[in-house]
């Protein structure tokens, strides 16, 4: 039987912060990762838990100035149904559609995906590629953490023990395009072997790419940016020679591992091919 640690269900964010400040407590949002770990066979269960599901302050999708802001409890289904998300962060909508299937998408949240900090988390490369900011809150107030600093190590986040991830902010960048691709064993209910997000601004002058961001999951202990490959693409057009060079650079830049889902070699080769294909699709050749 699964273990059943004591849990409280605060109705306000202030109450949740207060409980977090009092001592060790494990927050739970949609439960799609945490519930699986509470079998009683996978190490010590949490002593106390904190149910976030009723905190409507952590819901909502809205434009705020030059940003799109998603509450941490935004589910993958919410994302897929949101016209704001489809317009401004299509790669994130694409990522959400590849996660689990309807049952998981109805419960799993973008905040949970970020805080679970799996290197295979499917939305995390999108957060990196779109320069997202993760807003962390506690009794001490709020602070912004850029996505590039949110996953400092394997399954670790920048959150302090008394902090919650409350919302994620995406800057709205004029002319930015984004692409997403996930490689798994099957279309639904699979965990990534490789997951990739690419963002760039395509100039009107011959289609040179600027502000290129390339981020990957499942190829390192954390989701990563591929900065050497970004440098190859920066200021260049999406033409065959550049695609070849970028793919070669990426294959040399990645150091994935063999594990239960795939091999290092497969991940390196497939990452390069997927990038080549994304550039080809963007270039229309």
Partner 1 sequence: MTAYRFAVNGAPVEVDVPGMRRLLDVLREDLALNGTKEGCGEGECGACTVLLDGSPVDSCLVPVCQVDGSAVLTVEGLAVAPTRPGQADGLDELQAAFLVTGGAQCGICTPGMLMAGRAYLDGGGGPDHDAIREAIAGNLCRCTGYTKIVEAIALAAVTNDGDAVR
Binding site for partner 1 (CB under 8 A): 1-9, 28, 30-32, 35-36, 38-39, 49, 51, 53-54, 77, 100-104, 106-107, 187-189
CB 32 to partner 1: min, Å: 5
Residue 77 and residue 61: Cα distance in Å, rounded?
12
Residue 47 or 66 with smaller CB distance to partner 1: 47
CB 75 to partner 1: min, Å: 9
Residue 76 and residue 116: Cα distance in Å, rounded?
15
CB 186 to partner 1: min, Å: 9
CB 56 to partner 1: min, Å: 12
Residue 133 and residue 249: Cα distance in Å, rounded?
28
CB 31 to partner 1: min, Å: 5
Instruction: For the chain, give the longest Cα–Cα distance.
Output: 63
Residue 1 or 241 with smaller CB distance to partner 1: 1
Tokens representing residue 205 in the block: 């002058």
Sign of CA dihedral 111, 115, 119, 120: negative
Residue 150 and residue 156: Cα distance in Å, rounded?
8
Residue 111 or 238 with smaller CB distance to partner 1: 111
Residues with Cβ within 8 Å of residue 166, at least 6 apart in sequence: 13, 57, 58, 71, 72, 111, 135, 136, 137, 142
Residue 28 or 212 with smaller CB distance to partner 1: 28
CB 136: neighbour CB atoms within 10 A? Answer: 23
Residue 28 or 159 with smaller CB distance to partner 1: 28
Residue 106 or 210 with smaller CB distance to partner 1: 106
CB 28 to partner 1: min, Å: 7
CB 208 to partner 1: min, Å: 38
Tokens representing residue 6 in the block: 């004591």
Do β-strands 209-217 and 194-202 pair in parallel, antiparallel, or remain unpaired?
antiparallel
Q: Can you list the alpha helix ranges (DSSP code H) found in 98-174?
A: 102-105, 110-116, 124-129
CB 8 to partner 1: min, Å: 8
Residues with Cβ within 8 Å of residue 46, at least 6 apart in sequence: 5, 24, 25, 26
Residue 4 or 211 with smaller CB distance to partner 1: 4
Residue 19 or 77 with smaller CB distance to partner 1: 77
Strand-pairing partners, residue 50, are 8, 27
The total number of residues written for the chain in this structure: 285
């Amino acid at each position: 039987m699964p273990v059943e640690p004591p849990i409280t269900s605060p109705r306000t964010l202030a109450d949740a912060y207060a409980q977090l400040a009092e001592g060790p407590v494990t927050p739970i949002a949609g439960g799609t990762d945490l519930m699986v770990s509470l079998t009683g066979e996978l190490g010590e269960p949490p002593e106390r838990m904190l149910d976030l599901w009723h905190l409507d302050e952590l819901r909502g999708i809205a434009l705020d100035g030059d940003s799109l802001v998603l509450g941490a409890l935004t589910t993958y289904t919410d994302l897929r149904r949101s016209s704001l998300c489809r317009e401004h962060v299509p790669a994130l909508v694409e990522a959400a559609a590849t996660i689990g299937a309807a049952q998981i998408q109805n419960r799993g949240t973008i905040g949970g995906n970020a805080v679970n900090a799996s290197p295979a988390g499917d939305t995390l490369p999108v957060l990196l590629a779109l320069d997202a900011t993760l807003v962390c809150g506690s009794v001490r107030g709020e602070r912004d953490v850029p996505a590039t600093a949110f996953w400092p190590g394997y399954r670790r986040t920048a959150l302090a023990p008394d902090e919650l991830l409350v919302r994620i902010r995406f800057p709205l960048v004029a002319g930015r395009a984004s692409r997403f691709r996930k490689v798994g064993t099957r279309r639904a209910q699979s965990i990534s072997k490789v997951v990739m997000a690419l963002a760039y601004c395509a100039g009107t002058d011959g289609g040179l790419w600027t502000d290129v961001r390339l981020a990957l999951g499942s190829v390192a202990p954390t989701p990563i940016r591929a900065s050497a490959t970004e440098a190859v693409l920066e200021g260049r057009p999406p033409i065959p020679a550049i695609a070849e060079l970028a793919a070669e650079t990426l294959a040399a830049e990645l150091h994935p591992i063999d594990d239960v889902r795939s091999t290092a070699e497969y991940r390196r080769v497939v990452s390069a091919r997927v990038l080549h294909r994304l550039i080809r699709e963007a270039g229309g050749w």
